[in-house]
Amino acid sequence: MTRPQPTAEAIMRTGMGFQASKTLLSAVELGVFTELAVRPAGLVELRERLGLHPRGARDFLDALVALGFLRRVDDVYHNTEETAAHLDRAKPAYAHSGGMLDMANGRLYRIWADLTDSLRTGAAHDESADGDLDTYDALYADPVRLKQFLASMTGISHAANTRIARQVPWKDYGTVADLGTAQGDLVVQVLLANPHLSGIGFDLPAAAPVFEEYAAENGLRDRLAFVGGDFFTDDFPRADVITFGHVLHNWDLEKKKLLLRKAWDALPEGGAVIVYDSLVDDDRSENAFALLMSLTMLVVTDGGFGYTAAECTGWMAEAGFSRSWSEHLIGPDSIVIGIK
């Protein structure tokens, strides 16, 4: 199928898209939407409440109006319905949208500036680039970045997690272990929707306090436990279902296959491995989000890359899974399920 070619205008819009992106990210960082949720305001009052210099304030706020993220009525700025719901730090949904944008602003935006170099050298430009620590140890060395990163994972995964909690036939299983669980939103949503299940979140030990706080907030302390460890060197916890959410894309081919083999070893006969990621479409031409996510893996990890459902079912077959298939979840995300 031939698709319409981008017009000259569309080429420029994408080429200059970083301006709109950074304007929105700075607005979240400065708390524009949080302040306007407290009280709509005119230019002078809002500028003072946000601590902005007069030179850029008006253009900044009016750019947000022109981009559709604010409304201005009789010289008073207001949130839109959507920005009020998702980008006000006092609202629960902030964790799912604003949290991701905080991480994009604090981390990915700068790392992506070195994309050209990563394309030439194959080397990442994340926190591990200047030292001996690996990506996660370097990222988690700072407690503020640790919490921001783990919470942002909830942001990027929450919609898919709530789908998985309903789409998979959980009634057939009693236990689930989520490997690389971060804050634990996948296993939390699965347990909330399926009261007969108990679960384990497995991640590097540094993630424990953030996971445990989230499990407690969701009233799941009695059915959900954290296990700290390294999934490459430690045994996997035993469970009927083992899940990997946005984990396989972080690693090179050998490590992806190792994780699937270890899942097979830890599962009982009939148990299931569930992998989910933004899967690249089989023709590698449609799912731009997934392909861009794969480039994010280039700039933030040592060997990670995105993959297609066909590649993943092939690795599952190699690991010993007797059958496997993929299902679309929501937006760019799909799951691949393998049965032992």
Ligand X SMILES: C[S@@+](CC[C@H](N)C(=O)[O-])C[C@H]1O[C@@H](n2cnc3c(N)ncnc32)[C@H](O)[C@@H]1O
What is the Cα–Cα distance from 32 to 65, expressed in whole angstroms? Answer: 12
Q: How far is the CB of 125 from ligand X (least distance, A)?
A: 17
CA angle, corner 185, sides to 314 and 202, nearest 5? 65
Q: How far is the CB of 303 from ligand X (least distance, A)?
A: 13
**Among residues 159 and 317, whose Cβ is nearest to ligand X?**
159
State the residues that interact with ligand X by CB under 6 A. Answer: 136, 153, 157, 180-182, 186, 203-204, 207, 230-232, 245-247, 250
Residue 179's φ and ψ, nearest 5 degrees, are -95, 130
Q: How far is the CB of 165 from ligand X (least distance, A)?
A: 13
**Among residues 37 and 182, whose Cβ is nearest to ligand X?**
182
What is the Cα–Cα distance from 241 to 140, expressed in whole angstroms? Answer: 28
Tokens of 252: 């090179």
**Among residues 32 and 139, whose Cβ is nearest to ligand X?**
139
Q: How far is the CB of 178 from ligand X (least distance, A)?
A: 7
The tokens 């990997």 sit on which residue? 244
Q: Residue 197, SS3?
A: coil
- Give, as one character, the DSSP assignment of residue 93: G
Name the percent of the chain in helix, strand, coil, to the closest 5.
55, 15, 30
Burial 285-315 (b: 16+ CB within 10 A, else e): eebeebbebbebbbbbbbebbbbbbebbbeb
**Among residues 32 and 297, whose Cβ is nearest to ligand X?**
297
**Among residues 61 and 191, whose Cβ is nearest to ligand X?**
191
Active site residue 249: yes
Residue from 78, 96, 249, 328 carrying the catalytic annotation:
249
Q: How far is the CB of 37 from ligand X (least distance, A)?
A: 26
**Among residues 163 and 246, whose Cβ is nearest to ligand X?**
246
Q: How far is the CB of 181 from ligand X (least distance, A)?
A: 6
Give the rounded distance of the alpha carbon of 76 from its chain centre: 35
**Among residues 275 and 309, whose Cβ is nearest to ligand X?**
275
Long-range Cβ contact pairs of 263-267 (< 8 A, separation 24 or more): 263/179, 263/236, 263/319, 264/319, 264/320, 264/321, 264/340, 265/236, 266/177, 266/235, 266/236, 266/237, 266/238, 266/239, 266/242, 267/239, 267/240, 267/241, 267/242, 267/340
CA 267 → CA 263, 276, 337, 340, distances in Å?
6, 18, 13, 7
Tokens of 73: 């009525």
Beta bridge partners of 37: none
Asked if 280 and 294 touch (Cβ cutoff 8 Å), the reply is yes
Q: How far is the CB of 95 from ligand X (least distance, A)?
A: 12
Give the rounded distance of the alpha carbon of 295 from its chain centre: 14
Residues annotated as catalytic (active site), given as ranges: 249
